[in-house]
C-alpha cells in the first residue's frame, strides 16, 4: 500500500480541488433571473397628501392637480397618483418651493423622474392644455432614468 499512497493522495487532492472549483464556479453564476421585469420603486416623500385618481390623460392630471391645490389651500405639499397609457404615475407639487415632480413607471419597469422648478401656476396652466409642464422660456425639467 505504501507504493500507491502518494498516488491516492494526489487523486484525492485533485478530486477535492475539482469539487471546490466547481462550487466556486456555481456560486459566481448567481441566482436565476426572474421572468418579471425589474423595477425601481419610489415612494412619496413624507409630508405630502396624495389622492388616487385612476386613469387620466396628462392634461386631465394637470387639471386634477390644479383643483386639488385650489381645494386644499392649507396644504403646501399635494399630489395625485394615476395611470396613463399603461404607466403608473405620481405627480406631486410643493407650493412653497414651487416645484412639480412627476415620476412614471412604464410596463418595462424603468422609472423616469422629472422635476420642474419655479413658476408653479404658469406650468400647471400650460400643462392643462399641452399635457406637459415644460413651458417655453422657462427652465426645462431635470430628468433622470432610475434603472433597476
Residues 32-48: pLDDT tens digits?
544 444 555 677 888 99
Q: Quote the pTM value.
A: 0.70
Instruction: Give the model's pLDDT for residue 35.
Output: 47
- The three-state secondary structure class of 121 is helix
**Under DSSP, is residue 24 helix (H, G, I), strand (E, B) or coil?**
helix
Quick check: is 39 in a domain?
Answer: no
Q: In this structure, are 17 and 82 located in the same domain?
A: no
Q: Are 26 and 59 members of one domain?
A: no
CA atoms within 13 A on the CB side of 147: 0
- The answer to whether position 24 is within a domain reads yes
> What pLDDT does residue 38 have?
52
- Give the pLDDT of residue 18: 84
Structural domain total, the chain: 2
Residue reference for cell 424603468: 110
Q: Name the stretches of the chain with pLDDT < 50.
A: 33-37
Domain of residue 58 covers 49-146
Decide: 89 and 103 in contact? Cβ < 8 Å.
yes
Question: Cα separation of 98 and 103, whole Å?
Answer: 17
pLDDT confidence of residue 30: 63
Within a domain: 42: no
Share of the chain above pLDDT 90, in %: 55
Let me know whether 23 and 72 are in one domain: no
Amino acid at each position: 500500500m505504501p507504493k500507491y499512497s502518494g498516488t491516492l493522495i494526489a487523486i484525492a487532492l485533485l478530486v477535492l480541488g475539482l469539487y471546490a472549483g466547481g462550487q466556486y464556479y456555481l456560486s459566481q453564476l448567481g441566482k436565476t433571473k426572474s421572468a418579471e421585469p425589474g423595477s425601481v420603486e419610489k415612494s412619496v416623500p413624507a409630508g405630502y397628501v396624495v389622492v388616487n385618481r385612476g386613469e387620466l390623460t396628462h392634461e386631465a392630471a394637470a387639471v386634477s392637480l390644479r383643483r386639488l391645490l385650489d381645494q386644499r389651500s392649507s396644504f403646501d405639499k399635494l399630489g395625485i397618483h394615476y395611470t396613463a397609457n399603461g404607466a403608473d404615475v405620481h405627480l406631486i407639487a410643493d407650493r412653497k418651493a414651487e416645484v412639480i415632480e412627476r415620476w412614471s413607471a412604464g410596463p418595462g419597469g424603468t422609472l423616469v423622474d422629472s422635476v420642474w422648478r419655479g413658476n408653479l401656476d404658469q406650468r400647471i396652466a400650460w400643462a392643462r392644455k399641452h399635457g406637459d409642464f415644460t413651458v417655453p422660456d422657462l427652465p426645462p425639467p431635470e430628468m433622470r432614468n432610475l434603472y433597476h
